[in-house]
Structure formats: C-alpha cells, structure tokens
C-alpha cells in the first residue's frame, strides 16, 4: 500500500471520529436545551465569536432575530411547497412559537457555538479527505465519488441545521437531521473499509456466512428504526418541556405516551438481535479477526446504550445520559455497518 493511500485511510478514520464528536456535541445541545442559544446561522448573534453578556447585544436583538427567523421560514415553506409538501409548509407558517424571542443565556449560546465549531471542523476534514481521495483515481474511482458526495451531504446537513434553528426545533426536521448524520457516517465508514480492503484478498472461512449477512442487515435496519423512535421520543420530551414547569421533570417520561413504550420494547429486540449477531460471529471467527473484535465492541456499545436508557427512564432524564445515549446509538450503528462490510467480503470455503 502506497504512502498516499495510508494517508487517506488515516484521514478517513479521523473524519469518522470527528463525525461522532459532532453527534455528541449535538446531543449535548439537545439535552441542555441550547438549540436556540444562537438565534442566527452561521454566525452567532451576528458575531464570529459569540457574546458572553447581554450588554454586548444590540438593544433590539430580539425583534431583529425573530424577523430574520420568520423570513427564513417563509423561504423554507416555499421550498416545501415546490416539493408538493403544502401541509408541512402551512404548519411552518402557522407555528406561532417562532415569534417568541429567546432570552440570552451565555452558557447555552456557547454550547451551541461549540457544536457549530465541531461541525465546521468536520467539514474541513471531509474536504481534506476528498482531496486525498484522488490518489485512487486509477484504482477505485468510487472512493473519490463518495468522498465528494459526503461534502455535499454535510453541506445540506449544515443548511438543515439552520432550518432546525429557524423553525425552533421543528420535530420532523430534527429527525431528518439525525438520519443525515447516519448517512454521513455510513459513507465515511464505507470509503474507509473499501480503501483498507482494496489490496487484500477476500476472506474465506469454513462456515456458512449467508445467514450472518442477512441477519446482520436486519439488525442494522432495526437499530435505525430504534434511533428514529428515540429521536421522536426526544422531540416529545422537548414539546413537554416547553409546555409545563421545568420543575416537573420527573413526570416527563410518563407524559410521552405510546411512542416511549414502542422505543422501550424495540430496545429489547435490538439487544436480542445484537447478541445473536455476536454469537454467530463468534462461531465463525476466532482470535484477532476483525469481525470478532468489532462484534466485541458492538456488545460494549450495546451495554452502555442499555445502561443509559435505564438512567433516562428512572432518573428523570439526566442531560449527561441523554448525550451519551445518542452518541452510543450512532456508535452502535457504525460498528454494525462496519461489521457488515467486513462480513460481506467473506466467503464460505468450497472444496475444489
């Protein structure tokens, strides 16, 4: 493997880590209620370095940013109408909560600002990775195409982030925002694995691999559904937090309704599926084989996910547990997808 290819693989791995850190930062923003800490985008209170005190803001800052938000939402509503989503556009226009200005809070402002900063750093890493991908112009053009595609996906994700802010955390927009984060991760993991395996022979084992491939794909789908349900639970919590006294936090879970029950019940299926995958991998691989090591990491991520789920359910949704829960949900997906790519290149030995 040539030096430039090693450089691309290292950069790609760093990009994956950076993406997970951005998701962690986003989880901290959500769990601390800092999503509206910066009322404008991409700047924060029209500054590259956000203020630390309300005295640094213009006297009419509330009116100014509410007016800007209404203008941006109108553009977004027209965009939705161009896609035939007239009902959604009407909901955006009818939402009166966007006209309520946010009070300045330095801690929330800087929490959101750090979130945006990590996003910008991720964008830089993706750009550098895309440039370095041209080392594969003769051997693996798909790496170049996907690396460039990821820049556009992140750009769209950044724009959608501005919509999340301007629509005051509209529920379905937040869900799409989370799913796009998984797409970015999936593309980076695919190019990382493809580059690593490019000059290696396909693995061959003595046992049948087809069932593992199929069941692992099913497990990934179930995990993504669980993440979607988890995002919807989080959105319900956000709505409840806005409508009742914050002192009643211990009642929030009970107010979520059936969506929380679905999320909890599906978590049981996710756990079972991952343990079955682990058993199947352990039966087929041994020693320091990457599939087995990855399966070990999956179990660790799953256990942390289960533990933080219990903390959220029974300790009144502690913010630190929310951020960790989101991070390990995406980490679990990432490991499952990486394991699938490893298993996909494995074949069953067939005697001549």
Number of domains within the chain: 2
- Look up the pTM and report it: 0.86
Residue 58 tokens read as 């213009």
pLDDT at 244 over 60: no
Instruction: Name the residue with higher pLDDT: 205 or 34.
Output: 34
Q: Assign 38 a pLDDT band (cuts: 50, 70, 90).
A: confident
Q: Assign 275 a pLDDT band (cuts: 50, 70, 90).
A: very high
Taken in order 266, 190, 213, 300, is the CA torsion positive or negative? negative
Strand partners, 44: 47
What is the pLDDT at residue 188?
96
- CATH code, domain carrying 344: 1.20.120
| CB 331 within 8 Å of CB 24 | no
Assess whether 162 and 243 both reside in one domain.
Answer: no
pLDDT at 12 over 70: yes
Assess whether 178 and 211 both reside in one domain.
Answer: no
Assess whether 29 and 128 both reside in one domain.
Answer: yes
What is the pLDDT at residue 224?
94
pLDDT at 351 over 70: no
Domain boundary among 200, 223, 241: 200
The arithmetic mean of pLDDT across residues 294-313, rounded, is 91
pLDDT at 156 over 80: yes
Strand partners, 347: 204
Assess whether 237 and 181 both reside in one domain.
Answer: no
Assess whether 19 and 92 both reside in one domain.
Answer: yes
Q: Identify the helix (H) or strand (E) that includes residue 79.
A: helix 61-82
What pLDDT digit, counting tens, does each position of 112-123 carry? Answer: 899 888 988 999
From 231-240, 285-294, 329-338, the region with the lowest mean pLDDT: 231-240
In terms of residue numbers, what domain contains 341? 203-352
Assess whether 323 and 346 both reside in one domain.
Answer: yes
Q: Assign 203 a pLDDT band (cuts: 50, 70, 90).
A: low
pLDDT at 57 over 60: yes
Domain boundary among 200, 227, 257: 200
């Amino acid at each position: 493997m040539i030096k430039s290819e090693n450089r691309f693989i290292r950069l790609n791995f760093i990009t994956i880590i950076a993406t997970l850190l951005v998701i962690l930062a986003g989880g901290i923003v959500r769990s601390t209620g800092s999503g509206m800490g910066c009322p404008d985008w991409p700047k924060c209170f029209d500054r590259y370095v956000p203020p630390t005190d309300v005295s640094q803001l213009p006297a009419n800052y509330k009116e100014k940013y509410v007016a800007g938000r209404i203008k941006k939402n109108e553009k977004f509503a027209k965009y939705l109408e161009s896609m035939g989503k007239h009902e959604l556009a009407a909901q955006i226009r009818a939402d009166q909560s966007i006209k309520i200005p946010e009070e300045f809070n330095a801690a929330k402002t800087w929490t959101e600002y750090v979130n945006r900063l990590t996003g910008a750093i991720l964008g830089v890493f993706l750009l550098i990775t895309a440039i370095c991908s041209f080392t594969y112009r003769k051997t693996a053009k798909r790496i170049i195409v996907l690396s460039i595609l990821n820049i556009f996906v992140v750009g769209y994700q950044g724009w959608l982030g501005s919509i999340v802010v301007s629509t005051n955390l509209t529920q379905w927009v937040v869900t799409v925002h989370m799913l796009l984060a998984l797409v970015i991760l999936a593309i980076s993991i695919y190019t990382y694995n493809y580059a690593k395996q490019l000059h290696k022979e396909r693995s061959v084992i003595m046992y049948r691999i087809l069932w593992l491939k199929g069941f692992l794909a099913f497990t990934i789908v179930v995990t993504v559904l669980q993440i979607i349900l988890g995002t919807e639970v989080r959105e319900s919590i956000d709505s409840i937090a806005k409508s009742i006294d914050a002192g009643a936090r211990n009642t929030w879970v009970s107010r979520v309704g059936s969506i929380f029950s679905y999320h909890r019940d599906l978590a049981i299926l996710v756990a079972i599926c991952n343990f079955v995958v682990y058993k199947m991998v352990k039966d087929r691989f041994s020693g320091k084989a990457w599939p087995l090591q990855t399966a070990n990491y999956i179990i660790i991520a799953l256990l942390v996910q289960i533990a933080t789920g219990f903390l959220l359910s029974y300790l009144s949704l502690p913010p630190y547990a929310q951020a960790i829960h989101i991070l390990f949900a995406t980490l679990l997906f990432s490991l499952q997808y990486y394991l699938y790519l490893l298993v996909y290149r494995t074949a069953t030995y067939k005697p001549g």
